[in-house]
Structure formats: structure tokens, C-alpha cells
Amino acid sequence: METVLLLILFIAVLYGAYFASKYIGELQHKKFKNYNMKLIETLPVSVGKFLQLVKIGNSYFIIAVTKDDVRFIKEVDNGDVKTFNEYLKENGYEGDNGEK
């Protein structure tokens, strides 16, 4: 009997943790949704070093990010930035799921 109660309690805790994290995630998404800055893409260069493509307003910028520093690299023309769907179409893939 005690084992059944512990199992029910465990399932209830998992259920509560799932919905609590889902609720907090939705709040965070709403909180940051309307900002003018957006991280478009991240490319790892080495351990702890990344190049990031960031959209600020209508402009795109490449920045270098390390654990101690963030540096501006260059501004990228809007025409040079491809969306993932544009990339798929250019390389012969059809639809949104990447099927050829």
C-alpha cells in the first residue's frame, strides 16, 4: 500500500513539474517576444567561442562571443541572410519538413 502511495506521489510531482516548467516557459516567451533584438544563428568556433548572427531592428550583425568577451565583427546586408526555408529550396528540398 505504501509503495502505491509513493508511486502516486511521484507521478503527481512529475505532473506538477511538467506544467510548472511549461507555464514558466510561456511567460518567458511572452516577456521577450516583443524586443527588437533576436539571436538568429550560433556557430561554435571552438570550446567556449562562438560566432553569432544577431538581428537588431532591421539590421543583421555578426558578433564573436567568448566567456569573457563579446566583440562586433561586421554588419551583414539583409540580402546576404538566408532563411532556413530559402536554403532548403535552393538545395532542392521540398516542403517544410526537408523532403526531397
pLDDT of 37 reads 85
Q: What is the CA radius of gyration of the chain?
A: 21
Between 42 and 97, the more confident residue is 42
pLDDT band (50, 70, 90) for residue 79: confident
The pLDDT assigned to 70 comes to: 95
For range 11-40, the mean pLDDT: 86
Query: What distance in Å separates the CA atoms of residue 93 and residue 34, rounded to the nearest whole number?
Result: 32
d(CA 23, CA 67): 30
- Residue 60 has a CB neighbour count (10 Å cut-off) of 19
Residue 1, classed as helix, strand or coil, is coil
User: Is residue 97 predicted with pLDDT exceeding 60?
Assistant: no
Judge contact between 63 and 70, C-beta under 8 A. Answer: yes
Q: So what's the pLDDT on residue 94?
A: 61
Check pLDDT > 70 for residue 99: no
pLDDT digits (tens, 9 = 90+) for 50-65: 999 999 988 899 999 9
